[in-house]
Structure 1
Amino acid sequence: MPHLQISNSQDDSQSQYSYYHLPVTHHCIVSIKHKNSYISSLVIGGKFLYTGSSNKEIRMLKRDNLRYEFDHENLNNSMIITGKGAVKSLVVSADTIYSAHQDHKIRVWKVDENEAQQEKLTQLATLPTFSDRALTILIPKNHVQVTRHKKSTWVHHNDTVSALAVSGDGLVLYSVSWDRTLKIWRTTDLKCLESVANAHDDAINAVALSSHGDVYTGSTDKKIKIWRKSNSIEGKKHYLVTTLEKHRSGINALALSTNENVLYSGASDRLIMVWEKSADDDMVVVCTLKGHAKSILSLSVVSDLLCSGSADETIRIWRGVENCYFCLAVLEGHNGPVKCLTSETDHSRSSDTSASYLIYSAGLDSDIKVWQIGIPL
């Protein structure tokens, strides 16, 4: 039975072991090898599962027909090749999809249905847009020093765009990059509103967004930073609220709990830290999750469950009870690091006596897998 070492303190001498004995069922219901590349991003949007790969491909797959499509390899009509390098992140807002790329750009897509009633992705724009670039390039103060011998306008990312987040109302897009910047975009006209330069001391790998506008960024510099929009008359810019420093190595993934009171962070130190807001609005570590043998690469939250993917080729399913977290299951089947995770409640199989979930995973073994998880209530 999988177990979890619980630590309510940063001092391992105060750690205690707990076991969770619950008849959790789990099995892989779909598995497919993605040819010629690995999966670098994964997201659910409506009736589709969108995937981004290391060789510039974005695919849209009907979730209720995954087995059929995979078995018949009938995927070419739902594939787009774009940009240069890997598609690092995908986010969905209504029928708009935003993709982050290794070529320093963000692309905007719309789901269209053609006369044959087959959906496809149509590109609307590349960020920064031509008009945004044109308005800034002629004004010297809009140019920033990128390297010793290179300048660029502040609306440009100058390295891989590593992660994206979109507000609940779909009006604001946030992007982070290995160039150490956080940028904020207005989705109605795709204008770059703000760029937080040198937001971290090293590459930024992850971003998470709360419904009330707090932005969490995680970096290779081992720090998590929380940003908040100022309501001052002088200008509604984002300012640094606080810096969280507990991890011993670079942070790769962030996720918020369903009620947004808890922040989860996964890092190359093999730890998942559970941060909770205190009465005075500070974030404190209430638990450190240990179990993975290698770096934590991906996190996903569904209901009261936390899913973690690791370079140790496993996925762990965690549940917290009053700041004590238990490992409900360890999913084994990947033959490479699990780079991407997303999850959802499976309402068709849930009942009054049990809850059912679907976990979608992918990574460096080029496999896409769908897992069915059943948990008694």
Structure 2
Amino acid sequence: MKVRSWLRSTCSSSTCISTAKDAIVPPPTPNQLVISDSSSCSVDAQASSSASSLTSQDSTYTTRSHTSLESNLSILTLPSVPSLQKLSPEALNLSITTLCITSLKPQQPAHVNFLALNNNLLYAVSGSQVNVFNTTNFTLFDSFHVNNDSSSSGSIKSLAFCDGKIFTAHQDCRIRVWKLTSSSVGQHKLIATLPTVEDRLRNFILPKNYVKVRRHRKKLWVEHYDAVSSLAAAENLLHSVSWDKYLKIWRAKDFRCTESIKAHDDAINAVAASPGGLIYTGSADKRIRVWGRAFGEKKHVLMATLEKHKSAVNALALNFDGSVLFSGACDRSILVWEREESANHMVVTGALRGHSKAILCLINVCDLLLSGSADRTVRIWHRGHDGRYCCLTVLDGHAKPVRSLVGVAEEDSGGAVKVFSGSFDGEIKVWKVMISSSSVKTPIPCPPSNVDED
């Protein structure tokens, strides 16, 4: 696609940089940002000698960070960014009904780290195991992990669907590829591990294909060398980000790594891919970066750096057409970024506030934004026609931080939205959300959904 000139500028006073796959990378610092149930943000400086020695702590959500966070709440809530919460449900003439339908639990008691939907199946990641539930009757459809050994691959950080396959991101720096072999029996088979042996052999001879990751230690550019933290799929390409600060792009059809970009100065916690080909990465360095291909080019380059958050960026979400970006961080605010055609750049239009602790997950469903937080709640936001927002309701039922959200419109139930929320309390709560006009009692229409495209 042709990337417009507005991407060449930044949202604030920031500078674009160029990257190369064989750049020398300094080793990551051992500091960890730990978001626990008892506090919004705290710093844990416990050392870690290598990626292989990292262990997941199921009771906390951890991201890498080089900097300590300010404890002053006025700084954390971004007072310089205006609030977009200027509407009420009454002003929008809306009525909302929410119902917790049921609660699902993994086969073995564990914290729920990630949720994803594909067709009528809910994939729930708990530690190193994936439990698959049927969303029509809420029964367990399948359960799988690597080599029947739940500790061999470390915890799973993320899951994505691309080209009819299932990709899981692991603590051990690998991405694993699965195939559903039988829809009736419910059997998932491991078919590949990225990078593949062929990809390694293709690159291992030439010295230029290695990057320096530690003193006296190098890795192939096709390899992540720290935990793979997030995945996003678009246009038969898989995008992976890691605490090693790199963004990598893979072809789903043959599992080849086509690009490796040193994307940030600190660990990358989130990635989102737009339908038009742009890639957004959110990092512990407090920045969001936009990547795209210039007209006629094959490689992605840095197009813009978005800087407004005061702490590590944990979550990113795009609206259905990719024109609005939402970002959540430890500063407890959700920032809304919109394309400003007249000014030829992307700007932050305002903040959504209400959560009392760090934002851990964001999704956009049927023109609704849902946010999950370490404060144990889920908030549902609706956008008015003039760009102002309203917090329609708060879903309160989890005993620990809400780590992941996923939702889908129910076409056969009058426009209701089914929402799944996963928490460190080990439960997946299933909610039915119905929003309608108070005057005529008709549901709000949903734009075309991309949830079940595989």
CA RMSD of aligned residues (A): 1.8
1:62 maps to what in 2? 134
CA contact (8 A) 2:169 2:176 kept: yes
Q: Which moved more, 1:45-54 or 1:238-247?
A: 45-54
CA distance in 2, matches of 1:265, 1:245: 11
Deviations 1:329-367 (A, max 9, x none): 1000011111001111011211xxxx3101111021111
Deviation at 1:325, TM superposition (A): 0.7
Greater relative contact order: 1 or 2 (C-alpha under 8 angstroms, separation 6 or more)? 2
CA distance in 2, matches of 1:112, 1:335: 36
SS in 1 for 2:208: helix
Q: Which amino acid aligns with 1:95?
A: G
- Does residue 252 in structure 1 map to residue 314 in structure 2? yes
In the alignment, does 2:113 pair up with 1:40?
A: yes
1:165 aligns with 2:237: no
Residue 117 of structure 2 contacts residue 123 of structure 2 at CA under 8 Å; is this kept in 1?
yes
Residue among 299, 302, 305 paired with 1:240: 302
Which of 89, 98, 103 is the aligned partner of 1:26?
Answer: 98
Q: Given residue 244 of structure 1, which amino acid in structure 2 is its aligned partner?
A: L
Question: Cα gap change, 1:18/1:140 in structure 2, threshold over 3 Å: closer, same or farther?
Answer: same
- Using the size of structure 1 for normalisation, the TM-score is 0.89
Where in structure 1 do 4 or more consecutive aligned residues deviate above 6 Å? 12-16
Once residues 39 and 332 of structure 1 are traced to their aligned partners in structure 2, the CA distance between those partners, rounded to angstroms, is 17
CA shift for structure 1 position 33 = 3.2
Q: Following the alignment from structure 1 to structure 2, what is the Cα–Cα distance between the partners of residues 113 and 17?
A: 50
In structure 2, the CA distance between the partners of 1:369 and 1:150, relative to structure 1 (3 Å rule), is: same
Structure 1: segments with no counterpart, 5+ residues? 1-8, 70-74
- Structure-2 separation of matches of 1:370 and 1:97: 23
TM-score (structure 2 length as normaliser): 0.74
Alignment coverage as a number of residue pairs: 349
- Whether 2:345 is the aligned partner of 1:282: answer yes
Where in structure 2 are there 5+ consecutive unaligned residues?
Answer: 1-77, 147-151, 438-454
TM alignment of 1:1-377, pairs within 5 A: 11=80, 18-21=87-90, 22-34=94-106, 35-54=108-127, 56-66=128-138, 69=139, 75=140, 78-82=142-146, 83-93=152-162, 95-113=164-182, 117-167=184-234, 169=235, 171-197=236-262, 199-232=263-296, 236-279=298-341, 280-321=343-384, 322-350=386-414, 355-377=415-437
- State the one-letter code of the partner of 2:317: A
Distance 1:218 1:92, change over 3 A: same
CA shift in 2, pair 1:347/1:146, >3 Å: same
Residue type at the aligned position of 1:60: V
CA deviation profile, 1:219-271 (whole Å, cap 9, x unmatched)? 01000000002344xx6211000100000100000000112210000101000
* Amino acid across the alignment from 1:362: G
1:135 CA displacement: 1.3
**What SS does the aligned partner of 1:131 have?**
helix
Q: Distance in 2 between matches of 1:180 and 1:30?
A: 39
SS in 2 for 1:85: coil
Q: Distance in 2 between matches of 1:359 and 1:175?
A: 25
Letter in structure 1 aligned against 2:197 = F
Between 1:318-327 and 1:35-44, the stretch displaced more is: 35-44
Cα contact 1:287–1:323 (8 A) shared by 2: no
SS of residue paired to 1:134: helix
Q: Which amino acid aligns with 1:301?
A: N
Relative to structure 1, the CA distance from residue 180 to residue 349 in structure 2 (aligned partners, 3 Å threshold; closer, same or farther) is same
* Aligned-pair CA distance for 1:13: 8.1
> 2:163 touches 2:253 (CA, 8 Å); kept in 1?
no
- How far residue 32 of structure 1 moved from its aligned partner, in angstroms, is 2.6
Native 8 Å contact 2:84 2:350 kept in 1: no
Distance 2:110 2:371 in 1: 22
Residue 376 and residue 224 in structure 1: after superposition, are their counterparts in 2 closer, same or farther (change >3 A)?
A: same
Structure with more strand by fraction: 1
Partners of 1:31 and 1:86 lie apart in 2 by 23
- Shift of residue 277 of structure 1? 0.3
Using the aligned pairs only, state the percent identity.
Answer: 43
TM superposition shift of 1:11: 3.2
Partners of 2:119 and 2:170 in 1: CA distance:
22
